[in-house]
């Protein structure tokens, strides 16, 4: 597979993100909300930990990721610029990977800004460094999966709001399966993100959980490729 044009597409998408105030607004809102829930155990429970923050992070990302990815294909379809891209020497897989990686970088940038939390806890109390590193690693895999769903949802509609809603709905299914595991068969609850993400929160980097998130990400990227291969 050629990779020559992927960095070009990533650069183009990042410029589109940060030339608009939307990216800054979404990131700031995310940081404000996550910062509030990070600080709550510190001032209410007087306990230096990131566990509570990590447990709520999948819920925050249910709103943050769709807001970032909803325009990635939808806006191009709406304005017609996607047709221009398809006539350039880029192939559809390069366009897909460029858009996906650009969206992922924006999301991971927001997550990188939250690294202030563990650094501050080092001075405030005894922080479990291993569990913190594992928690952030799990968050990276979670973001890769969430972003793949967002890109997929944006690939079959010209409406960004529809893209946001569809992404949220799909992710919510995976999110809620882990919450109702006691009421559903184990084979179905295994598809929920809780079982796999909680391993990282506990400080355990389970290879099966890594495979779970990567496999789902690749599945939705493949579905996106099939979607974009059709005539629009």
Domain count within the chain: 1
Query: pLDDT tens digits, the chain, 232 residues: what are they?
Result: 455 788 888 998 999 888 888 889 999 999 998 888 777 766 665 666 788 889 889 999 999 999 999 999 988 888 877 777 777 777 888 889 999 999 999 999 999 999 988 888 777 667 778 888 999 999 999 999 999 999 999 998 889 999 999 999 999 999 998 888 777 777 788 888 988 999 999 888 889 999 999 999 999 999 999 988 875 4
> How far apart are alpha carbons 25 and 227 in whole angstroms?
30
pLDDT of residue 47: 63
**Cα–Cα nearest to 25, from 67, 57, 58:** 67
Domain of residue 191: give its range. Answer: 6-228
pLDDT of residue 2: 54
- Other Cβ atoms within 10 Å of 66 Cβ, number: 27
> How far apart are alpha carbons 151 and 160 in whole angstroms?
11
pLDDT of residue 42: 66
pLDDT of residue 209: 93
41: in domain: yes
> How far apart are alpha carbons 135 and 13 in whole angstroms?
28
> How far apart are alpha carbons 130 and 55 in whole angstroms?
16
pLDDT of residue 41: 65
Q: What is the 3-state secondary structure (H, E, C) of 153-187?
A: HHCCCCCHHHHHHHHHHHHHHHHHHHHCHHHCCHH
219: in domain: yes
pLDDT of residue 6: 87
pLDDT of residue 28: 92
> How far apart are alpha carbons 104 and 8 in whole angstroms?
15
> How far apart are alpha carbons 187 and 172 in whole angstroms?
18
> How far apart are alpha carbons 162 and 101 in whole angstroms?
22
1: in domain: no
């Amino acid at each position: 597979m050629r990779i020559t044009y992927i960095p070009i597409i990533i650069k183009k998408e990042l410029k589109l993100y940060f030339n608009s105030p939307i990216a800054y607004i979404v990131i700031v809102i995310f940081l404000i909300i996550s910062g509030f829930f990070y600080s709550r155990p510190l001032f209410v429970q007087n306990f230096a930990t990131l566990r509570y923050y990590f447990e709520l992070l999948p819920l925050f990302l249910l709103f943050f990721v769709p807001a970032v990815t909803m325009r990635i294909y939808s806006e191009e379809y709406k304005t017609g610029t996607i047709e221009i891209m398809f006539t350039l020497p880029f192939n559809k897989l390069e366009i897909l990977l460029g858009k996906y990686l650009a969206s992922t970088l924006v999301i991971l940038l927001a997550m990188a800004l939250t690294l202030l939390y563990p650094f501050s806890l080092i001075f405030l109390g005894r922080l479990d460094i291993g569990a913190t590193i594992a928690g952030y690693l799990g968050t990276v895999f979670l973001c890769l999966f969430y972003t793949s769903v967002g890109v997929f949802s944006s690939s079959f509609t010209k409406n960004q709001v529809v893209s946001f809603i569809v992404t949220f709905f799909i992710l919510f299914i995976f999110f809620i399966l882990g919450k109702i595991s006691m009421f559903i068969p184990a084979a179905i609850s295994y598809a929920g993100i809780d079982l796999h993400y909680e391993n990282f929160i506990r400080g355990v980097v389970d290879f099966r959980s890594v495979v779970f998130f990567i496999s789902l990400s690749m599945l939705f990227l493949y579905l996106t490729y099939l979607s974009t291969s059709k005539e629009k």
